[in-house]
Amino acid sequence: MRLDKFLANMGKGSRKEIRIFVKAGIVTIDGKPAKSFDQQIDPEKNIVKFQGELVQYKPFVYLMMNKPAGVLSATEDSHGKRTAVDLVGEEYSMYDLSPAGRLDLDTEGFLLLTNDGDYIHNVISPKKKCNKKYYARVSGKADADAAQKFENGLVLRDGTECQPAKLEFLSDSEIYVTIHEGKFHQVKKMSKAVGLEVEYLKRLSIGGVALDETLGPGEYRELTAEEKETIVHE
Ligand code: URA
C-alpha cells in the first residue's frame, strides 16, 4: 500500500498534507525517515511512526450500521442504486467491506459490515445459530398456531424448509421474529405462510447485540470488542 494512502486512511491528514509531512521528515518507517510519500509499505510488517508515535494498523474492521430503506446491502450489481458500503466514509476506504447477511432494499436496521470473511461466514452460517431478531408491522390474520408453526420449522409454499424460529406478538399488527438463517425474504415468506403480510421490517439485533439506538438511518460505528465476541465466538 502507498504510504500516503495508508496515512490518510489512518486520519493523519490529506494526501497533500502528507506529502509535506514526509518531506519534513516526521514520518519514519522502521526507524528511518520515509523516502517519499508514494513509497510502498506493508502495514502489517513495517513500523510506521508519525511524529514519533506508532500508527496502529487494524487488519479488520467491524461496523454496525443502521441501514435505511432504499439502500442496497449488496456491494455489486447495484445498477446505480446506493449501497450500504457507499454510505461508509473515506476513513474506511482501504477496507474491502461486505455485509454479513443482506437486508432487502425496503428493510431497515442492523447491518454488519466487515472485511473479515471468516467472521461473515460465522454470522450467516445456519450451523452457528447466530440469531437475528426483527420487528415487523404486519396486516392480515395470523393462524391460531402461528407461533407453534414457527417453532416447529415451517415449510414454505415452494417447499423450502426453514429451521425452527420464534414468533412473538406485540399486538395484532406488530410482531418480533427471530431466525438464525438468512434465506431470501425469509421473514416475509415465513410470515406470509401463517397469514401475515409484512408491511415494514427492521432488524433489531444480531447474535444478541442490539442495534445502537443512537445511530440514525445511514449512520454507523465500529463494534466494540465485546460486541464482536458476543455476536459470534471465534
Ligand atoms: N427477511 C426478509 O424477508 N427480509 C429481510 O430483509 C431480512 C429478513
Question: How would you label 79-101 residue by residue, b for 16+ Cβ within 10 Å and e otherwise?
Answer: eeeebbbebbeeebebbebbbbb
pLDDT of residue 14: 87
pLDDT of residue 11: 80
Q: What is the pLDDT of residues 24-57, one digit of tens each?
A: 999 999 999 999 999 999 988 999 999 999 998 8
Given the DSSP bridges, would you call strands 53-54 and 62-67 parallel, antiparallel or unpaired? unpaired
Q: What is the pLDDT of residues 98-133, one digit of tens each?
A: 999 999 999 999 999 999 999 999 999 999 999 999
pLDDT of residue 93: 80
Q: Give the active site residue among 42, 86, 104, 106.
A: 104
Q: Which atom of ligand 1 is nearest to the CA of 185?
A: 3
> Residue 77 above 70 pLDDT?
no
pLDDT of residue 234: 65
164 sits in the region (left: phi over 0; alpha: psi -120 to 50; else beta) called: beta
Centre of ligand 1 to C-alpha 160, Å, is 15
Centre of ligand 1 to C-alpha 89, Å, is 26
Nearest CA to ligand 1 atom 2: 185
104 is catalytic: yes
Tell me which of 122 and 8 has the higher pLDDT: 122
Mean pLDDT of 210-232: 97
Centre of ligand 1 to C-alpha 17, Å, is 45
Compute CA 78 distance to the chain's CA centroid, rounded to the nearest angstrom.
17
Centre of ligand 1 to C-alpha 189, Å, is 9
Mean residue pLDDT of the chain comes to 94
Q: Candidates 72, 107, 175, 205: which one to mutate for ligand 1, based on the most atoms within 8 Å of Cβ?
A: 107
pTM for the model stands at: 0.86
Q: Whole-angstrom Cα distance, residue 179 to residue 186? A: 9
pLDDT of residue 75: 74
> Residue 78 above 70 pLDDT?
no
Using only C-alpha atoms, the chain has a radius of gyration, in whole angstroms, of 22
Homologous superfamily (CATH) of 3-54 is RNA-binding S4 domain (3.10.290.10)
pLDDT of residue 95: 87
Four-CA torsion 132, 137, 139, 144, nearest 10 degrees:
50
Tell me which of 167 and 5 has the higher pLDDT: 167
Give the CATH fold of the 62-231 domain: Pseudouridine synthase (3.30.2350)
Show the ligand 1 pocket: residues with CB < 6 angstroms.
103-104, 107, 185-188, 201
Q: Candidates 137, 179, 184, 185: which one to mutate for ligand 1, based on the most atoms within 8 Å of Cβ?
A: 185
Q: Which region among 34-38, 53-57, 134-138, 221-225 has the lowest average model confidence (pLDDT)?
A: 53-57
Going from N- to C-terminal start, the domains of the chain cover 3-54, 62-231
3-54 and 62-231 have identical folds: no
**Cell numbers at 234, concatenated:** 471465534
